Amino acid sequence: MEAPLPEPEPLKALIDALRRLPGVGVRSARRMAYHLLQHDVSGATQLSRALADAASRLRHCTRCNSFTESEVCAVCANPKRDSSLLCVVETPADQNMIESSHEYKGLYYVLMGRLAPLEGIGPMQLQFERLVNRALDGQVQEVILATNFTAEGETTAHYLSELFRERGLSVSRLARGVPAGSELEYVDAGTIAWALMERRST
Amino acid sequence: MEAPLPEPEPLKALIDALRRLPGVGVRSARRMAYHLLQHDVSGATQLSRALADAASRLRHCTRCNSFTESEVCAVCANPKRDSSLLCVVETPADQNMIESSHEYKGLYYVLMGRLAPLEGIGPMQLQFERLVNRALDGQVQEVILATNFTAEGETTAHYLSELFRERGLSVSRLARGVPAGSELEYVDAGTIAWALMERRST
């Protein structure tokens, strides 16, 4: 939907900039722009400031690679964390989900992506060497691979698993199975198959 | 999905600000923030500038109420436009759609909304008085109501129709009917009913 009307330049620039957000096409971008300008100019100003602020103040934690304002993030700097466990996740959002389970007290490494050869994302782009160095700090005993259970996440886990095992680290992967609280009828067949293969004696 | 992890302050502020965009919840906001910070810092900076720019430079056209950088927008200022026709639309996006049909050479008035009593949007909020004054400039002969064919759009059209007729202006509404290129089998029954009622002799 190209605009056949001569749009004022700042409006066009705003719509273009909004399209750089993931999942936002030209229609949504236009709707967002109109909304902000018509109903929420203070929201536009707030977002403008937040973006500039985040872009200038945030950097990657030198230990776990997640976003932080300081050299080392709050999780890595926490002495109560078990430094013998290193959990590898794709994104900070995944890290949040694991954290919210209250089941894990170790440390993390955030890949900020997953292997995706078709998009040109390989071991170099994800800085696997840096991750391996992190894992070989002498304290880590076990690396827990918590990448997604998608094709790309599985490939990433497989690749990393080889890498760590070669270096004598023990490696584990999150368990696959039927999700808590779910009815078998509504679980997909692939999950049921995995749950059967990995069944546990009680 | 509250973050159980201590998020750095600028990241939290950015996620909060992104949530002010229409249709963006906390998950999407977080995904957008991660994307911008990880893969597109220049996009973040660009968006920040575009927002500040648009918020400070854009205002409403004194004639048609759409967004413009000058006092009067490019459409209203165009002497080739037929000033005897005034087309009332809900949003600039609707105006764009009409413009892209290349069937209309008159002027516009952009309501920037529609009557929605439950949300507290009435004739006052939409500045109907201003619209009436615009239509009574002595040049407008016909007002074409092109609000949406939704319940609220229809209500708005009905209300405006009364308002203009009382003041002796002739008022029309976009035709309802079967969309161009569509097969009857896939058109909803309400549309078919309208198309029958408003059938034209050939």
In A, which residues are within 8 Å of B57 by CB distance? 8, 10
Q: A55, exposed or middle or buried, with CB in 10 Å at 0-12, 13-18, 19+?
A: buried
Alpha carbon of A145: minimum distance to chain B alpha carbons (Å): 19
Note whether A75 contacts B5, CB cutoff 8 Å.
yes
Q: State the pLDDT at residue A134.
A: 96
Question: CA–CA separation, B46 vs B191, rounded Å?
Answer: 44
Q: State the pLDDT at residue A16.
A: 94
Question: CA–CA separation, B154 vs B79, rounded Å?
Answer: 31
Alpha carbon of A124: minimum distance to chain B alpha carbons (Å): 15
Could you read off the pLDDT tens digit of each residue along chain B, which spans 202 residues?
A: 455 677 889 999 999 999 999 999 998 999 999 999 988 999 999 999 999 999 999 999 999 999 999 999 999 999 999 999 999 999 988 898 888 888 889 999 999 999 999 999 999 999 999 999 999 999 999 999 999 988 999 999 999 999 999 999 999 988 888 887 887 778 788 888 777 878 776 6
Question: CA–CA separation, A56 vs A93, rounded Å?
Answer: 21
Question: CA–CA separation, B103 vs B127, rounded Å?
Answer: 28
Neighbours of B27 (CB within 10 A): 11
Q: State the pLDDT at residue A192.
A: 82
Q: State the pLDDT at residue B18.
A: 96
Rounded to two decimals, the pTM is 0.74
Contact B156, B147 (CB under 8 A): yes
Contact B45, A55 (CB under 8 A): yes
Amino acid at B189: A
Question: CA–CA separation, B92 vs B156, rounded Å?
Answer: 17
Q: State the pLDDT at residue A132.
A: 96
Q: State the pLDDT at residue A202.
A: 65
3-state secondary structure A158-184: HHHHHHHHHCCCEEEECCCCCCCCCCH
Alpha carbon of B121: minimum distance to chain A alpha carbons (Å): 12
Q: State the pLDDT at residue A2.
A: 53
Q: State the pLDDT at residue B108.
A: 96
Note whether A50 contacts B100, CB cutoff 8 Å.
no
In A, which residues are within 8 Å of B95 by CB distance? 5
Q: What pLDDT digit, counting tens, does each position of B163-202 carry?
A: 999 999 999 988 888 887 887 778 788 888 777 878 776 6
Q: What pLDDT digit, counting tens, does each position of A188-198 carry?
A: 888 887 778 78
Residues in chain A where the model's pLDDT stays below 50: 1
Which backbone phi and psi does B150 adopt, to 5 degrees?
-100, 170
Q: What residue in B sits closest to A40 (Cα-Cα)?
A: B20
Q: Which of A21, A30, A58 sits opposite B93 (nearest CB)?
A: A30
Q: State the pLDDT at residue A3.
A: 58
Token readout for B38 is: 């990880």
Q: What residue in B sits closest to A100 (Cα-Cα)?
A: B4
